[in-house]
Amino acid sequence: MVRKFVYRFESNKAEGRAEWKPLLGGKGANLAEMANLGIPVPPGFTVTTEACIDYLKLGHFPEGLLEAVRDSMSWLETCTRRQFGNVENPLLVSVRSGAQSSMPGMMDTILDLGLNDETVIGLARQSQSERFAFDAYRRLLGMFGNVVLEIDHELFEPALDAARRAVARQKQLSLPDDADTLARVVPDSVLGAEELKLVVADYKRIILEHSGKPFPSDPYEQLDAAIAAVFRSWNNARAKLYREMHDIPHDWGTAVNIQAMVFGNLGDTSATGVAFTRDPSTGERRFFGEWLPNAQGEDVVAGIRTPRALSRSPESDGSSLEEAMPDSYAELFKIQHVLEQRFRDMQDIEFTIEAGRLYLLQTRNGKRSARASVRIAVDMVNEGLLYPDEAILRVDPERLGELLFPAIDPKAGASAIARGIPASPGAVSGKAVFNAEDAQAYAERGESVILVRTETSPEDLHGMKAAKGILTARGGATSHAAVVARGMGRPCVSGCSTLHIDYASGEAVVHGGNGEVTTRIKHADSITIDGSSGSVYLGNVKTIEAELGPEMETMLVWTERVSRMRVRANADTPEQAAKALSFGARGIGLCRTEHMFFSDERIAAVREMILARDTKAREKALAKLLPFQTQDFAGLFRVMKGLPVNIRLLDPPLHEFLPHEKHQIGELAATMGVSVVDVERKIAELYEFNPMLGHRGVRLGITYPEVPAMQVRAILEAACTVQEEGHEVLPEIMVPLAFSEGELGAMRVIIDEVAKDVFAKHGKEVKFKVGTMIELPRAALLADQLAKHAEFFSFGTNDLTQTTLGVSRDDAGSFLPLYVERGILPEDPFISLDTDGVGELVRIAIEKGRVARPELHFGVCGEHGGDPKSIDFCEQIGLSYVSCSPFRVPIARVAAAQASLRRTRKYWR
């Protein structure tokens, strides 16, 4: 049986539905749904993603597809009472891509198909505008040439430039040198029919020259080629990159939507626009969008003309759609509400008004800033549109980092040199670069850059990804730059219209009110942009931390109701602990004590301890460190108010603490009363070829038991003191890098002896736990043996990853990216847990540990503890908590709640 490749829709009736996105793509499924809801859409049909996948596999159309397309075209002719290719009454169609998941601007679209030298005359007659018809024809030729015949669009530009020049000459305007200014002085709308006819002739010549064949005048030949080209565009480089960045599978394919053309450029009663049912930047509930009279859809998004606001405001001055076309606005306003209620999410809508008649061309769940995503989700719960658990699942935890983006410090007193549209929130500084390649090159050298462009296009994607922020001179809040930056979480200021970029000279200038140049920004000059306010500053302006905001606070409270796992923080100082607590951390999962040793007063004692000739000398140095460590731990206990505080005994190889500079070595020798040569010899002795697998972790405790003894004493002294102050304390003492029962047993003896001594001195006991990190495969495999001496396991997945894969965490940068690029590894295993390998060891360790000691509790404290995908895995295998850096705590809380909801499917209703 031939499969059904084509699904039709017209007003009030459709074969498809919203739920069929995998088959019809997002655009096709939603067009069908809009038709079902009685919303006016231009009639058309969707060619399925299955047809695309078949085409890409076979290299030709699958059997039955062309017949189905022909049948549906006849049906469309009946619906529209026009005929495809008919000279008197031509039907024109658009051919648009539409994948299951929206990939804005990544794939191709062709408009005005069906035009040729004859039908263009018919269109001119029907529309009573030769100019309009030839404008449509040249657009088709340009798009067809570029998309189907793969002719570089720049090759078409001289023809258009020549037409602009001719008009400029006729109007006796002075001729600017660069094409950009020329396009501004002589916009498309000024080109007359005669000029456009010349452009059409030129475009046809360019097509013949570069493709070796004339432009096909047969409309069906155009249509078939356009469908094939849209199928192929699924695999273009930018679409592939976009999929990789957004985890969209490569085997989904795109659907193709073929629809009767409607025109927003048929004169003053026609228009086109883009709207959001809520503000995509702040999440505020207000109908929001942009439109242009007498224009085609791409004019709004391409940012060539700066669009007008949809709704009336004190500044709109009659230019809003609400004022200019009140009936269409009212209808659109009603429709947007219907759509939001139906889809239960903020919608991003495209519409066209043709001679006073409104059509919806698209609706989809709108891309939004992270802040907006939280606000919209929480508001929708309050409006009764969503349940709290659905709201939690609506947020992408990875992007919540945006809520923590810094803002401009008002105290910095910086004054903006220019202002644009606040397109994607956050303030960021960097060197200004004017093209994507420079952005990438600078970023690879570790430099922070702001990509500054007149406008961006999908070709700039790699540069936008590499840049810390994006600034454009043109385009509104729905321009490519704005939409893509928001999706990527990059701060972006768009439509900064006083900015003019001269790519040739590598300089941007800002114009003042009288047209004079007020500021020059040269290549690599530092600038700061604030995507929350739209301001642009010269130099590096001081920024301050952001606040979570009330909606995020609400959502975080909800997460507590559904999360099984707790979120702790890796914190080494009382300040970090306080930050973590303010973000809702439920304890400290890892305090790396070595970080406490680097301050000036302590490092001398640490070095003295390391270089000590014998135990006595070492104990003398350790005695100097004891009061410092006791203070450190007391500080943590006070902040954490009875929540668990996990303190790791000294872990790094001692060599890391030794001086490298000559003068430091000299100073150390003097303090210790030994010769420089002696110190140098000792440093050389401590050198290791492979320090990560060397004398570190518990091995230090085995060789120098007085070191852990001092640290344990400090922990328990601090615990007793803080308890005596009337606070609760819950210390956890953690042994790093153990691989055997023997090592842990030896540490346990030291810990118990010190505890006895400290408690006797204080005349009271403090409850504490002793556990180990699992950072070595042997430890995981023999977890039942280790569990004899441990009350908890904390998976140090940074080390466990490096020791399991045999990949150095410090040196992997030279080859790991290639492994990911080639698909040998799905992701960087130091960012997202290698669940198959490392994850399996974690699973084994939990299972064996639990058998040996049922009350054992488990956490993860490697960087993976803040990674949403790894958190999902931690939930599945039953960890008690994840621990991550303080700033990632809110992200981890949401991720943990989502993981619980997904695993248990116990929704909170």
- Site residues for Mg ion per CB under 5 A: 775, 796, 799
Q: Which stretch binds ligand PEP (CB under 6 A): 118-126, 168-176, 326-334, 793-801?
A: 793-801
Distance CA 487, CA 480 (A): 11
Binding residues among 767-786 for ligand PEP as defined by CB under 6 A: 775
Q: How far is CA 387 from CA 390, 546, 555, 783, 891, in A?
A: 5, 27, 12, 42, 20
Q: Is 590 in the site for ligand PEP (CB under 6 A)?
A: yes
Indicate the pairing of strand 421-424 with strand 543-544: unpaired
188 interface partner picked from ligand PEP, Mg ion, none, CB below 5 to 8 A per type: none
Span from 39-47, 64-72, 80-88, 795-803 in contact with ligand PEP (CB under 6 A): 795-803
Q: Residue 792: helix, strand or coil by DSSP? A: strand
Give yes or no for residue 592 binding ligand PEP (CB under 6 A). yes
Q: Which two tokens stand for residue 45?
A: 């049909």
* Segment holding 645, helix H or strand E: strand 644-648
Check residue 424 for interaction with ligand PEP (CB under 6 A): no
Q: Which is nearer to ligand PEP, 861 or 891 (CB)?
A: 861
CA end-to-end span of the chain = 45
Q: What are phi and psi of 18, to 5 degrees?
A: -60, -35
Q: Say whether residue 798 binds ligand PEP (CB under 6 A).
A: yes
Distance in angstroms (rounded) separating the CA atoms of residues 219 and 85? 6
> For residues 115 and 149, is the Cβ–Cβ distance under 8 A?
no
Strand duo 271-276 + 347-354: pairing: antiparallel
Q: Which of 497, 246, 238 is nearest to 396 (CA)?
A: 246
- Whole-angstrom Cα Rg for the chain: 33
Element (H, E) at 887: none
Torsion region of 894: left, alpha or beta (phi above 0 gives left; psi -120 to 50 gives alpha): alpha
Distance between CA atoms of residues 722 and 711, nearest Å: 16
- The binder of 712, among ligand PEP, Mg ion, none, by C-beta within 5 to 8 A per type, is none
Pair 280, 369: CB distance under 8 Å: yes
* 257/570 with CB nearer ligand PEP: 570
Token pair 């084509």 in the structure block, residue? 6
Size of the site for ligand PEP (CB under 6 A): 10
Looking only at residues 186 through 245 of this chain, which bind ligand PEP when binding is defined by CB under 6 A? none
Residue with the shortest CB distance to Mg ion: 799
- The interface region with ligand PEP, picked from 158-166, 241-249, 791-799, 837-845 by CB under 6 A, is 791-799
Bridge partners, 408 (sequence order): 543
Name which position in 90, 796, 839, 859 contacts ligand PEP (CB under 6 A): 796
10 is written with which tokens? 């017209």
Shortest distance (Å) from residue 884 CB to ligand PEP: 10
CB nearer to ligand PEP: pick between 390 and 651: 651
Q: Residues 6 or more apart from 421 whose CB is under 8 A from it?
A: 475, 476, 477, 482, 493, 494, 495, 496, 534
Residue 402 contact partner, candidates Mg ion, ligand PEP, none, CB within 5 to 8 A by sort of partner: none
Binding residues among 842-901 for ligand PEP as defined by CB under 6 A = 861-862
Q: Which one of ligand PEP, Mg ion, none is in contact with 862 (Cβ closer than 5 to 8 A by kind)?
A: ligand PEP
Question: Toward Mg ion, which CB reaches closer, 279 or 799?
Answer: 799
Among the listed residues 797, 804, 870, 900, the single contact to ligand PEP using CB under 6 A: 797
Name the residue nearer to ligand PEP (CB basis): 487 or 862.
862
* Span from 322-330, 415-423, 580-588, 797-805 in contact with ligand PEP (CB under 6 A): 797-805
Q: Least separation, in Å, of the C-beta of 643 and ligand PEP?
A: 19
- Cite the beta strand spans of 434-498 per DSSP E: 449-453, 469-472, 492-494
CB nearer to ligand PEP: pick between 350 and 799:
799
Q: Give least dist CB 775 to Mg ion, A.
A: 5
Q: What is the identity of the amino acid at 705?
A: P
- Coil, strand or helix at 408: strand
Q: Which does 592 bind (CB under 5 to 8 A by kind): ligand PEP, Mg ion, none?
A: ligand PEP
Q: Shortest Cβ distance from residue 591 to Mg ion (Å)?
A: 13
Structural contact between residues 43 and 9, judged by C-beta atoms closer than 8 angstroms: yes
Q: Does 414 bind ligand PEP (CB under 6 A)?
A: no
CA distance 615 to 367: 63
Residue placing its CB nearer to Mg ion in the complex, 589 or 796: 796
Which residue in 480, 500, 789, 857 is the catalytic one?
A: 480
Question: Comparing C-alpha atoms, which of 312, 276, 307 is closest to residue 291?
Answer: 307
Per-position x/- string for 367-396, each x denoting binding to ligand PEP as judged by CB under 6 A, each - no binding: ------------------------------
Q: Which of 496, 591, 720, 861 is catalytic?
A: 861
Q: Are 806 and 816 in contact (CB under 8 A)?
A: no
For residue 338, which of 47, 552, 36, 582 has the smallest C-alpha distance? 36
Contact pick of 112, 389, 717, 799 for ligand PEP (by CB under 6 A): 799
Beta bridge partners of 857: 792
Dist. CA 430–CA 449, nearest whole Å: 4
| Token couple for 265 | 């450029």
Nearer to ligand PEP, 264 or 652 (CB): 652
Q: Which is nearer to ligand PEP, 534 or 866 (CB)?
A: 866
Decide if 480 is catalytic. yes
Residues 643-672 that bind ligand PEP (CB under 6 A): 651
Site string for ligand PEP, 548-587 (x = CB under 6 A): ----------------------------------------
Task: Classify 393 as helix, strand or coil.
Answer: helix
The interface region with ligand PEP, picked from 111-119, 201-209, 351-359, 790-798 by CB under 6 A, is: 790-798
Query: Shortest distance, CB of residue 809 to ligand PEP, whole angstroms?
Result: 8
Specify the residue, 23 or 780, whose C-beta has the smaller distance to ligand PEP.
780
Q: How many Å separate Cα 587 from the centre of its chain?
A: 28
CA–chain centroid gap for 51, Å, is 31
User: From the CB of 826, what's the least distance to Mg ion, in Å?
Assistant: 23
Nearer to ligand PEP, 797 or 898 (CB): 797
Q: Is 101 an interacting residue with respect to ligand PEP (CB under 6 A)?
A: no
> How do 543-544 and 308-309 pair as beta strands?
unpaired
Catalytic residues: 480, 861
Q: Which residues lie near ligand PEP (CB under 6 A)?
A: 590, 592, 651, 775, 796-799, 861-862
